[in-house]
Structure 1
Amino acid sequence: MKARRTPWWYYLLALLLGLAAGAGIAKYGERMDLSLIGAPWFVAVLLAMLGVAVMILAWQVHKYATTDPAKRSSVFDPMKAVYTLVLAKALGLAGAALAGWYGGQILASLPHAQASFFSEAILECAVTGAVSLADMVVGIIGEHLCQLPPSEGPEHPKLTGAGRRRGFAQPTANRSVEQ
């Protein structure tokens, strides 16, 4: 299976969509006299714990993937590595969307910041938005940590000329001249 890195513009798009949705829901709640802004404090705590868990899992995958096969002391489930990669990708995109969501709520609530309800909601959204932004960064780093090192096949740069002469691979520059 070949997994591709998540393009940078996916994160930007998720952030912008979250920003528009957060600002829209805050304005809608203001017009309809509903309390739709803010975030309970436990949301920020849960998001932080999720980011820590993904970073620990990604570090384990990276540590196993970069250890010399002869020195590995345990068996590692490849599905755990795949699940960690998917979790890191999802955390990065969800973190971007949630950072935009809470940022949009902050922007829509700033004109009313002098009211105690809105000032409390702005503080809640700022903390949760910062944790969401950190989760996006953790997702990007976790995705990078789950990347496998290049295999040491015939095209690997560490393969010496002697290995190439034994038939593992021929340099492409000499093939056309000798044939």
Structure 2
Amino acid sequence: MKLTSPLVLLVISAAVGTLGWLAALLTTRYSLNTPVLPLNGLITMGVIVVLTLVLGIRVLRWRNGNKKKMLNPILAALTLVLAQACAYTGAVLLGWHAGIFVDQLRLWNLRSDQTLAWQALAMAGGGLAMVVVGLMVERFCRIPPEDGEGEPAPGLQEKRKPKAEGEYAYRGD
């Protein structure tokens, strides 16, 4: 499985940010409510971030030497999937709310109450936290290379012909 590219997440955030900016522009023009998640969404985002981080630290501890107890491979795979989902979701939330915040900046001096702008900024910060934790935990789930990484697994060794005179595929001592 490939690691999530931060560049892909940046492109997703930029595209969704443009959509968020357009949505905020249209809702302001037609006197509709601006599409911002409520602040209690930060609680949900925080729970997801903490859960992802706790599971990632568990995998990291096992990977770095605490191998007395076997790690459930399904749990490790689910941790990886959760980390990737956290990163992608955070990129979408970051982009959407950053786009709304940019739209609210042009109205900053015209409004006496800037709670919508601060709310969008807080949600964008929560999205950024999700991206950072998702990418970090995804790297926790990587298995370090073994000593003989270039060698095929036992039983799957291919038969090869000697490349030069005197080189053999096996030693018959």
Normalized against structure 2, the TM-score is what? 0.81
Counterpart of 1:58?
A: 56
Map 1:89-168 → 2, pairs under 5 A: 89-114=84-109, 115-117=111-113, 119-153=114-148, 155=150
| Counterpart Cα distance in 1 of 2:149 and 2:80 | 27
For residues 130-160 of structure 1, give each alpha carbon's deviation from its aligned partner in whole angstroms, at most 9, with x where no partner exists.
111011010110100011122344648xxxx
Aligned length: 157
For residues 18-45 of structure 1, give each alpha carbon's deviation from its aligned partner in whole angstroms, at most 9, with x where no partner exists.
2111101101111221102333111112
Distance 1:111 1:150, change over 3 A: same
Identity %: 23
Map 1:3-14 → 2, pairs under 5 A: 3-14=1-12
Alpha-carbon offset, residue 177 of structure 1: 7.5
Moved over 2 A (4+): 36-39, 151-156, 175-179
Q: Secondary structure at the match of 2:142?
A: coil
| Counterpart Cα distance in 2 of 1:154 and 1:21 | 45
| Counterpart Cα distance in 2 of 1:121 and 1:154 | 53
Runs of 5+ unmatched residues, structure 1: 157-168, 170-174
Residue of structure 1 aligned with 2:19, choices 13, 18, 21: 21
Runs of 5+ unmatched residues, structure 2: 152-156, 158-162, 168-173
Q: Does 1:40 align with 2:35?
A: no
Q: CA RMSD in A?
A: 2.2
Normalized against structure 1, the TM-score is what? 0.79
| Counterpart Cα distance in 2 of 1:8 and 1:124 | 25
| Counterpart Cα distance in 2 of 1:18 and 1:88 | 20
Structure number with the higher helix fraction is 1
Counterpart of 1:166?
A: none
